[in-house]
Structure 1
């Protein structure tokens, strides 16, 4: 169990919220929250888009937990800190995660907090899915056990039972091979949440080894195998090593394809199909639009390009570091020439791309290639990357700093 003595050797510069919070106002023991009916109904509607009843109910419990605790955490963040409690990795990632794993995560600055809900009445332990502990980019600093009581008389509530750290879970927890979880007895959890708020910013993660990299063929084979919706718990397929399963989940594009496959949906990220029949529902939900414009490629490779009166352009508005930007994707010349231009601009007329910002393209296996990146050395009007692709090739786009609600997408050309 954590106590202030655990922090004796941590420099005071790391405990940056300790003097900002009025601890007297926090219920430090058995924190209960009344559930809001509207939030419950919204969670239920959002949870309908899953492949089977178990996944739907799991998504419902997790969304109820997440929506209430996002507000609770935000209420205890001092306004002067400038911090926000945000869904991690993004709101758009939730369906593909909750289809196969229990738990959601909140990000406060660089600190990650995983919420693990349960309806168990007599709770004996916290059980955290291995994914939230051993996937490098998912591993959290804190893990909170949340008991949810869904009352038929609309008197539902949740209780924050206690929390632990990644360090404690790995050092003192028990690994359970049968369900791929780490467990810790209730008596070893910390119930005083003032300690959590007081130590936001402390890195409680042990070094998590880098996972394996899947080839495109391996990933597609796993998606085909585990995408059968009759497989209720693909994460427990012991014939699939955890390292491979983790690599599939950590890659947002492959995880999204697994989710779509389990919904029995056709390919959602074929750019050529978008241009012929309109963009897919998933792309539209993420904010992508398809428009036709007269090309004006300043600085583009125009030699031997077939002229066109108008070409289709895919556009998405992004928020990056509090500013609005536009990411545009369009063919150069005719579509048959397979030369594509990715361009980032400030959404404000006359606005600039600040120095240090990067626009990067990767293969579907997240590998770099020649001339795959544009970097703003100083403030510039635009960043652009042009690439010639073979039929069936896939690309993943990235921007630094990371846009709000970014999730990896594999675009197939």
Structure 2
């Protein structure tokens, strides 16, 4: 995995040279079918090479449980619009990988999204050079969020923060030590919350910035507006699919009419037929079979199922969200919460069910307007959770 440093006379002994796995080196894997333009395609390619080389090292030397954040299937919606990846060490520590092909190691330069969007902020930011043709990734230094935010230089034209070599720790072996033994270090500094954005404003932005001819949508609107759009996982994914020219993948009505896309099936959604009651069974020939939807989840190490079922006819647009433990005889522990929110993440009356003690199920029923979006949340958070907008 680690190439001999003696072959690289430009590399310091404190740096790390990692081999790029052969299976991820084909640029053809990043076609226009996955990204809206050549710039985004290549940005994704460099990030994929970086993550494929660096993540095994992180798991081997720093944290065996490290994983891309929020999950690998969400990465394309990030790389379409911004450079960089987050790696969660599952102990509250987050690493941000921002690759470049430049050999210069005098500064670490990071897009503003990774510094000023609260849920994107990391603890340590790694300086990484990717060299696809020579088949290596060079990890040459790191710094903290606090250093970038408090001591870095902000470039408004590119919306990036940069720190020079005075702030960079160039001994990569020190990173594992810092994470393990310096947990009290103030790695992050406070950032302002993202302003609330209305549903109409978000939809207008998605329509406007969804034009694939706009190469860098992140620079087209003020950052305070842009950050409100992309921090919301559902809107970020809607923007991504709009830029690809794809229909909204989370449309429940489209699922009913056309079936589920491969994309939503890959992230865990599936359809099933509801069992008919004894009363309707007598008229089974005249009664169409009702379809419902479910998503498999892992929460606190156990398997659960979230079901979304219609109450009455589809035209009534009344739906039941129900959470159950998948294991036979198992229950939902006390303290779990199932919550529904409006598309802009606002609560509404009777939007939450809480298990005060162990229960067999949690459920919330909601009546929706045609085309309305709803966001589901569960506490504790499921593994790989990324906000979804189900549109009815």
Cα distance, 1:136 vs. partner?
0.6
| Partner SS state of residue 137, structure 1 | helix
Answering whether residue 175 of structure 2 is matched by residue 196 of structure 1, we say yes
Which aligned pairs between 1:367-386 and structure 2 lie closer than 5 A? 367-386=346-365
Cα distance, 1:309 vs. partner?
7.2
1:35 matched residue in structure 2: 20
How many pairs align?
367
Residues in 1 aligned to 2:204 and 2:313: alpha-carbon distance in whole angstroms:
33
Segments of 4+ moved more than 3 angstroms: 307-310
1:256-279 Cα offsets, whole Å, 9 max, x none, are 110011001122222112112112
Answering whether residue 116 of structure 2 is matched by residue 134 of structure 1, we say yes
Which residue, 247, 260, 279 being the options, matches 1:266? Answer: 247
TM-score of the two chains, using structure 1 as the length reference: 0.85
Which gives a bigger RCO, structure 1 or 2 (Cα 8 Å, sep 6+)?
1
Contact 1:338–1:388 (8 Å) recurs in 2: yes
| Partner SS state of residue 158, structure 1 | strand
Residues in 1 aligned to 2:385 and 2:160: alpha-carbon distance in whole angstroms:
28
1:319 matched residue in structure 2: 298
Residues in 1 aligned to 2:330 and 2:31: alpha-carbon distance in whole angstroms:
40
Q: Report the more deviating stretch, 201-210 or 243-252.
A: 201-210
- Could you say what the CA RMSD is over the residues aligned between the two structures, in angstroms? 1.9
Contact 1:308–1:334 (8 Å) recurs in 2: no
Gaps of 5+ in 2: 1-11, 278-285
1:237-291 Cα offsets, whole Å, 9 max, x none, are 1xx1101100100001111110011001122222112112112333222111111
Answering whether residue 227 of structure 2 is matched by residue 242 of structure 1, we say no
Residues in 2 aligned to 1:129 and 1:47: alpha-carbon distance in whole angstroms:
24
Gaps of 5+ in 1: 1-26, 297-306
Contact 2:147–2:167 (8 Å) recurs in 1: no
Which aligned pairs between 1:218-367 and structure 2 lie closer than 5 A? 218-237=201-220, 240-294=221-275, 310-367=289-346
TM-score of the two chains, using structure 2 as the length reference: 0.89
Cα distance, 1:47 vs. partner?
6.0
The 3 A distance-change label for structure 1 pair 71 and 334 is: same
Residues in 1 aligned to 2:380 and 2:56: alpha-carbon distance in whole angstroms:
26
Contact 1:59–1:98 (8 Å) recurs in 2: yes
Residues in 2 aligned to 1:64 and 1:254: alpha-carbon distance in whole angstroms:
27
1:148 matched residue in structure 2: 130
Residues in 1 aligned to 2:119 and 2:258: alpha-carbon distance in whole angstroms:
36
